[in-house]
Amino acid sequence: MPYLNGKELGYAWAMRRFLQALAIVLVPSTGWAQEAAENPPAMFRSGVDLVTVSATVRDGRGRLVKDLTRKDFEVIDRGQKRAIHEFRSERAPLSLAILFDASGSMDTADRATAARFAAFHLISSLADGGDEAGLFAFDSRLREVAPFTVDTRALKGALGEVDPFGATSLHDAISAAAERVAARPMARRAVVVLTDGVDTASRLTPAEVSAKAAAIDVPVYIIATVLPLDDPGSDRATPGAKRQAPASIGTIEDLSRWTGGALYYSSTSASAYQAARAVIDELRHLYLIAFEPGAEPGWHPIEIRTPQKDFVVRTRGGYVAGAAARN
């Protein structure tokens, strides 16, 4: 298990406490958690109801590993190995909920412009007529700017309708967007958030949002719009930025990681392009793995492993069990 620093341990502790509470109330109650357990994404069927997870694999140099097979993976569920019933790695259409931060804090230092650059490159990387995306904006509430569509031209045109204004309910908006994209039929689904990371009005904590997104297998990718001084990949970054993310970014970086997603930075048009392409390339090369769930009700933390010691597998933190899946 990788070494965790103090911040990561604190987040993991908060996440564990929330998941313990979730497991207690899950089976007898209603709400998103029970619904996720009763309606998992039906991407695989093999005579039994299966849990599906998406996984990304990178080598020791951070490069995507794209040629693995079923025998290269093992699933550990609450410490027990699970047999992999189904496995897919072929290219498939994408479904993205692109979530644009329209809060007042984005209207400074050209952050909104940087976010539009990143959104434009995301949309440009989609296969017109094949992949789909929906464009959403949020300040204190979530607003649909453009419904899910395969028409990339319409999506690009809708970017001009996003204007920064108001308070920020970042965590709540991510949660709502994850629910929207989870209902889409595509196997490869994700929320991509364009934000400066500031949250001033959410009801939900990052741990609650990441648990929710993980339970429905929706990875959350964050493209953080920051000044070049705060961009670890910029030549103009301060020494501190090279070592540690800004405070406003740290919590959402943990959020994205717990869902199987990732954090990227955008401080220039070039870095916006690189971040967008990195997200799309990763989603194109997800491994989809299905296994039979455990019988014990509640939250099941999982780990996906490969025999290669220098390979790093990223996936969601676990799944919810305890209710029969609906056919």
Q: Of 313, 99, 272, whose CA–CA distance to 264 is shortest?
A: 272
What pLDDT digit, counting tens, does each position of 112-171 carry? Answer: 777 888 899 999 999 989 999 999 988 777 889 999 999 999 999 998 887 666 566 778
Q: In a 3-state reduction of DSSP, which class is residue 78?
A: coil
* Ranges of CATH 2.60.40 domains, the chain: 6-89+285-321
The CATH number of the structural domain formed by 94-284 is 3.40.50.410
> Of the given ranges (18-27, 43-52, 159-168, 241-250), which has the lowest mean pLDDT?
18-27
**Where is average pLDDT lowest: 92-101, 203-212, 237-246?**
237-246
HSE at residue 36, side-chain half, CA atoms within 13 A, is: 26
63 DSSP assignment: P
Highest mean pLDDT among 32-36, 40-44, 241-245: 241-245
Residue 46 has pLDDT above 60, yes or no: no
Q: Which residue has the tokens 């296969």?
A: 127
| Cβ atoms of 272 and 121 closer than 8 Å | yes
> By C-alpha distance, which of 76, 85, 81 is closest to 303?
76
List, edge to edge, every strand of the sheet that includes 80-82.
80-82, 74-77, 298-305, 318-321
Q: With bands split at pLDDT 50, 70 and 90, how would you rate the model's confidence at 235?
A: low
Cα-Cα-Cα-Cα torsion 23, 28, 31, 33, nearest 10 degrees, comes to 30
Q: What is the mean pLDDT of residues 300-316?
A: 93
Q: Is the per-residue pLDDT at 311 higher than 90?
A: yes
**Residue type at 124 in one-letter notation:** S
The angle formed by the CA atoms of residues 144, 258 and 16, to the nearest 5 degrees, is 115
Q: Which of 63-67, 165-169, 236-240 has the highest mean pLDDT?
A: 63-67
Q: Which residue has the tokens 């434009």?
A: 120
Q: Can you give the pLDDT at residue 170?
A: 79
pLDDT band at 3 (very low <50, low <70, confident <90, very high): very low
CATH class of 6-89+285-321: mainly beta
Which of 189-193, 244-248, 268-272, 294-298 comes out lowest in average pLDDT?
244-248
Alpha carbon distance 21, 307 (integer Å):
34
pLDDT at 250: 57
What percent of the chain is predicted at pLDDT more than 90? 39
Give 101 or 124, the one with higher predicted confidence: 124
The type of residue at 286 is L
